[in-house]
Amino acid sequence: MKLYSLLSPLLTWVKQIKLMAATVITVITVIFIYAAGHFDFSDDLHGLYLLRCDRGRLFDLKGDLLLGEENRLLAKFELDPIMDLFRYEHSHKPNHSHLSYSWNERNGSGYIFNYREDGTQLLTCFSRFRDSQGEIPKGLFLGGGLPYSKHDNAQLTMSATGMAHFDGKQWHHLWCNANETIASSAEEKHDPSTWQFLNSKVLFSDSKKLIIRSSHQFPFGTTTLRIDRYAIFRAGENYFILMMKISNIGNDPAYYYYVYGDELGRTIRQLRRQCWLGQGETF
C-alpha cells in the first residue's frame, strides 16, 4: 500500500502526459488534414467522395460529384441508396406522362426527368458541371450529369448528361452544356459563372408542370444588369421553355450582345441584341 501511495502521483502524471500527447497528436492530425485537403459540401449531400485534388492540395472531399470529376475519384461512401429507403416516391399510372425533379434552391442546381406516355424520357440537368474556367455556375444553366449514385443504373450511361433523350431502350445525348455569355464587346464578356447568384426558387410544381426561376446580377460597364431566368416544363412535351428577363438596374444605358451556343462551338441560337437599355428598363 505504501508503494502504491508513493507511485500513485507518478502514475497520474504519466496518464496526464499520455492524454496531452494524444490530444496534441489529434490536433496536429486534424490541422494537417484540413490544410492538405479541400472540402466542399455546398451541394446536396449524396455521399462522401474522396478525389485527387487538382488545385494544389492532396485531396478533395465532397458531398456530390460533378460531371468530369469521376476520373479523380479515389473512394466513395454513398448516402442516396440509404436515403431512398426513407423517401416517398409518388406512384404514377403506367403510360401516363409526368415530371420528376430534384432542385437545390440554395445552390441553384438540379435535374428534371420528363416521362412521356410512350415510355420515352427527356432528362435536363442544370449547373452540374464546371465551365472552361473550372468554375461552377449557379442557376438555370444547361449542363452536367446526375448524382454519381445514379450511375449504377445500367441505363444511365454518360449519354444521359446535359440534355438527353431515352427512346425506351437507350439514352441519346442531345446537349453537353450550353455556352452562354453577355458582352459589350469582344474583349469584355461576362460568363454565367461570374454572375452574382442571388437566389433560385421553384415557383410551381406538380406532376404535370414545373416552373423554376434563378436570379442574378453583375456589374456591366458603368451600370449593373439583373437577369431573371425561368425554366418551364410540361409533362409529355419533348422540349422545355427557357425565358430570360434582362433589367438595367443602374443609372447608365447599356449596350450588349448575348450569345447562346452549345459546348462544341456550333451556335444553336445566337442573340446579338444591340440593345439600349435605360435605367429601370427591361428586355
Model pLDDT, residue 264: 45
pLDDT single digits (tens) 266-280: 433 433 333 444 444
Q: How far is CA 53 from the centre of its chain?
A: 19
Instruction: Decide if 283 is inside a domain.
Output: no
Model pLDDT, residue 103: 94
Question: Rounded mean pLDDT of 112-129?
Answer: 92
pTM of the model as a whole: 0.75
Neighbouring C-beta atoms of residue 253, cutoff 10 Å: 15
Please give the residue that has the higher pLDDT: either 154 or 33.
Answer: 33
Neighbouring C-beta atoms of residue 168, cutoff 10 Å: 9
- Does 102 lie in the same domain as 76? no
- Does 256 lie in the same domain as 129? yes
- Residue 22 phi, psi (nearest 5): -65, -40
Q: State the cell numbers at 259.
A: 450569345
- Does 175 lie in the same domain as 253? yes
Model pLDDT, residue 207: 92
- Count: domains in the chain: 2
Helix, strand, coil percent content, the chain, rounded in steps of 5: 20, 45, 40
- The residue range of the domain holding 67 is 2-83
Question: Rounded mean pLDDT of 43-58?
Answer: 71
- Does 225 lie in the same domain as 151? yes
pLDDT single digits (tens) 170-220: 888 887 778 889 988 777 889 999 999 999 999 999 999 999 999 999 999
